[in-house]
């Protein structure tokens, strides 16, 4: 069962086939380099679909651009990991263990949406607290048990041209 999209069932702005983990890492890195403060990327998909891998590759690319190499753990148990960068703060949130939006205010995520780069796994847990301007990325296993992943991207709100171009390149 796939995680539901936050947006209405509209066709994706972009659909990509990712043949392997390396392709996911390359795509995540390209996305990371196109993100700016105030960008919120919502990552949905089943367990093991590659949400954390994509987010970690994006964060690693931003830090590498500054000459930094850091361990980038999954925030599965801490819920949120933050990183300081020359661009500003980067937030990586994994909301899988939350039952819904009630716990979001104490995380500080709503404020982070305004001025940080935010990568959020399991964004359906945000409910009505999801930012209006967001990039939704849904990762899925291909039908028929094929290798790789299928990635659908939907841009909600203005200003996603650079991110869509980076993903489509």
CB atoms within 10 A of CB 65: 14
Q: Which residue, 108, 110, 66, 102, is CA-closest to 84?
A: 66
Q: Which fold has domain 16-168?
A: Rossmann fold (3.40.50)
Predicted confidence (pLDDT) per residue in 108-130, tens digit:
999 999 999 999 999 999 999 99
Counting residues of the chain whose pLDDT is more than 90, the rounded percentage is 75
CA distances from 43 to 86, 92, 119 (A): 24, 10, 7
DSSP state of 47: T
Name the pTM for this structure.
0.90
- Position 166 pLDDT exceeds 70: yes
Predicted confidence (pLDDT) per residue in 7-35, tens digit:
555 778 899 999 999 999 999 999 999 99
Boundaries of every domain in the chain: 16-168
Residue 121, classed as helix, strand or coil, is: strand
CB 140 within 8 A of CB 167: no
- Give buried/exposed letters for 29-42 (b at 16+ CB in 10 A, else e): bbbbebbeebbbbb
Predicted confidence (pLDDT) per residue in 77-106, tens digit:
889 999 999 999 999 999 998 888 888 988
Q: What confidence score (pLDDT) does residue 9 get? A: 57
- Position 3 pLDDT exceeds 80: no
Counting residues of the chain whose pLDDT is more than 70, the rounded percentage is 94
């Amino acid at each position: 069962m796939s995680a539901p999209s936050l947006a209405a069932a509209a066709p994706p702005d972009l659909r990509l086939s990712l043949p392997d983990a390396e392709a996911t890492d390359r795509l995540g890195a390209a996305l990371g380099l196109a993100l700016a403060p105030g960008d919120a990327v919502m990552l949905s998909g089943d367990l093991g679909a590659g949400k954390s891998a994509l987010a970690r590759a994006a964060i690693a690319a931003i830090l590498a651009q500054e000459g930094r190499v850091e361990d980038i753990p999954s925030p599965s148990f801490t819920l949120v990991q933050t990183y300081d960068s020359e661009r500003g703060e980067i937030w990586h949130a994994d909301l899988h263990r939350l039952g819904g939006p009630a716990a979001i205010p104490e995380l500080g995520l709503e404020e982070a949406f305004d001025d940080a780069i935010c990568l959020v796994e399991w964004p359906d847990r945000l409910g009505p607290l999801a930012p209006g301007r967001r990039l939704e990325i849904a990762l899925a296993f291909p039908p028929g048990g094929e290798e790789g992943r299928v990635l659908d991207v939907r841009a909600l709100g203005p200003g996603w041209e650079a991110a869509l171009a980076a993903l489509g390149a």
